[in-house]
Amino acid sequence: MKAGPLLKKRSLAFMFDLILVKVLHVSLFTTYMLFIDSFLPQLSAKAQMLFLEHVVLVDSLSFVFILFGHFFFWYEVCKGQTPGKFLFGLKSNPLDKTRQWGTRESLLKTLGDLSGVLSFFTLFLVNFIRQDGKGISDLLSQTEVTEVHSHSGSNIIRLGHTQDEEDSTPFYPPLALVTKTGKSEDEEGGKKAA
C-alpha cells in the first residue's frame, strides 16, 4: 500500500488514541482537583499554597504518564496494536520477520510516540517527509505499520495470536443470532426442517 492512504489511517488512529488519553487524563485530573478542593480547607494556608503552586506540574506529569501507559499497555498486550490502530485496521510489526512483537518494540514504539507528542507534534513531520511514511517511532523501534487482514469485514485480532494464526482461523461471532421469538436461527431451522 502507498504511504499516502496508510499515513492518513495512521494519523486518524493516533488522533483517536490521543482522544482516549485526554479523556482519561481529564477524568483523573478532575478527580484529583475535587479531592484537593475538599481536602484543602483542612490544611494551613502555607500547605494550601504548596498544593496549588504545583497543580500545573501535576497536570503535565499526569498527562505524560497516562500517555506513556496507554501506548505501552496496548502495544504490549495487543502485540503492536492500540485501540486506534485496531479501529482503523492497522498493526505495527517488527521489520525483522523472524522476530515476534516483544517488550522492546512496545517500549521503543511508545518512546517514539511520546517524543512526537512532547515535541508539540513536530517530530511527526518525519512521517510526511519520508517516502515510505515511517516516523520516529518506527525508526526507533525498527517496526512498520501495515494493514490487518480482516475476517468477514471486521478487524478482529485476538490477543496473543500472530497474524498467520489469524489468517488460518475462521471468525465466528460470539453470540448466536436470535429471532424475534427468542429462539436461535438453528432452533428455528430445525423446526422448519422437521
Average pLDDT, integer, range 18-43: 91
Q: From CA 41, how far away is CA 48, in angstroms rounded?
A: 8
Cell numbers of 38, please? 475538599
Q: Over pLDDT 90: what percentage of the chain?
A: 61
Question: What's the pLDDT score for residue 192?
Answer: 53
Q: What is the pLDDT of residues 104-154, one digit of tens each?
A: 999 999 999 999 999 999 999 999 999 999 999 999 999 999 999 755 444
- No. of H helices and E strands in the chain? 9, 2
Higher pLDDT among residues 26 and 49, named by residue: 26
Q: Is 157 helix (H, G, I), strand (E, B) or coil?
A: coil
Question: What's the pLDDT score for residue 181?
Answer: 52
Residue 98 backbone dihedrals phi, psi, to 5 degrees: -80, -15
Q: Is the separation of the CB atoms in 93 and 22 below 8 Å?
A: no
Q: From CA 170, how far away is CA 158, in angstroms rounded?
A: 12
Cα four-point dihedral sign 4, 10, 15, 18? negative
Domain ranges of the chain: 3-148
Q: What is the pLDDT of residues 78-111, one digit of tens each?
A: 999 999 999 999 999 999 999 999 999 999 999 9
Q: From CA 125, how far away is CA 116, in angstroms rounded?
A: 9
Q: From CA 60, how far away is CA 64, in angstroms rounded?
A: 6
* Best CA proximity match to 93, nearest among 148, 143, 19, 57: 143
Q: Is the separation of the CB atoms in 9 and 88 below 8 Å?
A: yes
Average pLDDT, integer, range 171-176: 44
Question: What's the pLDDT score for residue 110?
Answer: 98
Q: From CA 105, how far away is CA 175, in angstroms rounded?
A: 35
Question: What's the pLDDT score for residue 42?
Answer: 87
Question: What's the pLDDT score for residue 36?
Answer: 83
